[in-house]
Amino acid sequence: MNDETTFLVLRQTDYKENDLILGGLSPEGQVSFVGKALKKTTSKNAYACQLFSECVIQYDRKPDKDIYLMKTASLVNGHRPLREDLDLQIVASVIAELSLKVQNGTDLFEMTKKAFQELEKKERPFTVLSLYLSDLLKREGNQPMVDACVRCGNTKGIVAFSVEDGGFVCADCAKLKYAKPFETEDLKMIRILVKGSMENLEKIPVEAEKAKFARLLLDHLIYHTGIRLISRNFFDTWYPED
Ligand SMILES: [Zn+2]
């Protein structure tokens, strides 16, 4: 039996001497393939299986398994800019790792593919990451509170964001317990990103294109879901706190 699926390559793990295990997304959700001899230069399938590529994989589906032996792979879209531009690579790595660590679902494939397509335009990598995080937070039911102070409900005098409490904090409450201070303009952008979605990327103001907003949403997601990200270290090294 020949089964076939579209597949986004999001993780490559060494396996035996010449093989790779590919982790990624199909339209049905998270799935892995063992790619025999993918590390050999003579491999016919290696080109289609590079990191961040979208390909069509032939394999034999077996019940109750989530890792399969790959037979052939053919390229659909290599998403090459994501491997060639360091900024894009770092953001794509965070998105790729997240999409394999959040709760599985049939929506992840399109979400991640759309994020890669937007990233490739090289215009607004941080906005793409922020909106991806924003959509994940809605999906996980962990949206930050950005309509009022998360501690007292006050809608006036918002001056900070508390990751621990999960949202905006007013000046009075910020005196009692640490919350990260932000300028009013920044708080406005954070609110727009939290309410926004990848679907309305073009409506997001250009002022939202900052690493610090993506970092804040990432902090919030990590704190409230307990997900551990390896790519987080690269992100923090490359885009130090401002
Ligand atoms: Zn308050």
Render pLDDT for 122-159 as a digit per residue (tens, 0 to 9): 999 999 999 999 999 999 999 999 999 999 999 999 99
Q: Which helix (H) or strand (E) holds 155?
A: none
Q: Distance from the CA of 152 to the center of ligand 1, in angstroms? A: 4
Rounded CA separation 157/150 (Å): 12
Q: Distance from the CA of 170 to the center of ligand 1, in angstroms? A: 4
Q: Is the model's pLDDT at 96 over the cut of 90? A: yes
Rounded CA separation 176/168 (Å): 14
Q: Distance from the CA of 159 to the center of ligand 1, in angstroms? A: 10
133 and 45 in one domain?
no
208: three-class secondary structure by DSSP: helix
Q: Distance from the CA of 132 to the center of ligand 1, in angstroms? A: 28
Q: Distance from the CA of 238 to the center of ligand 1, in angstroms? A: 34
pTM of the complete model: 0.95
Q: Is the model's pLDDT at 235 over the cut of 80? A: yes
88 and 72 in one domain?
no
Which range marks the domain in which residue 222 is found?
81-238
127 and 64 in one domain?
no
CB atoms within 10 A of CB 178: 11
Domain count, the chain: 2
199 and 102 in one domain?
yes
Q: Is the model's pLDDT at 242 over the cut of 80? A: no
The per-residue pLDDT of the chain, averaged, comes to 95
The pLDDT value recorded for residue 181 is 97
The pLDDT value recorded for residue 2 is 84
Q: Distance from the CA of 145 to the center of ligand 1, in angstroms? A: 12
Backbone angles phi, psi at 17, to 5 degrees: -75, -45
Q: Distance from the CA of 225 to the center of ligand 1, in angstroms? A: 24
94 and 214 in one domain?
yes
**What residues pair up with 9 in beta bridges, in sequence order?**
24
Token couple for 212:
């610090």
